[in-house]
Amino acid sequence: MPNVRISFHPAAVAEVDAAVQWYAERSPVAARAFAAEVNACVERVREAPERWPRYVHGTRRYLLPHFPYSLVYRVRNGELEIVAVAHHRRRPGYWRSR
């Protein structure tokens, strides 16, 4: 599905921004690496969204390989919606109402 439209829930955008800021305060290199990894993971999911395991509430989850985050997404009406970029230490399922 390489031509599928991608959208980010506003809260997912805020999560990425907050994580980049957190990493930037510690290491600009880590902040850039995190942002690049999120982008690369979104592209991997875009290529084959059904490949990644089912999660909760009709979503799927892709674990970032080098950071303790999951990309939580769903495909609806031909659109890939990123619901959350969730830290693994955060309360599970906090994003369910999105």
CATH number at 27 reads: 3.30.2310.20
Report how many domains make up the chain: 1
Rounded to whole angstroms, the Cα distance separating 74 from 2 reads 15
Which two structure tokens, joined as six digits, stand for 85?
A: 């970029």
The whole-number pLDDT of residue 77 equals 86
Q: Is residue 83 part of a domain?
A: yes
Q: Is residue 93 part of a domain?
A: no
Task: Please check the confidence at residue 12 and state whether its pLDDT lies above 70.
Answer: yes
The whole-number pLDDT of residue 2 equals 64
Task: Spell out where 1-98 has E strands.
Answer: 5-8, 60-63, 69-76, 79-87
Domain of residue 27 covers: 5-87
Task: Please check the confidence at residue 74 and state whether its pLDDT lies above 80.
Answer: yes
Rounded to whole angstroms, the Cα distance separating 76 from 68 reads 26
Grouping H, G, I as helix, E, B as strand and the rest as coil, residue 34 is helix
Local confidence band at 94 (pLDDT 50, 70, 90 cut-offs): low
* Averaged pLDDT for residues 58-77: 95
pTM: 0.87
Q: Is residue 95 part of a domain?
A: no
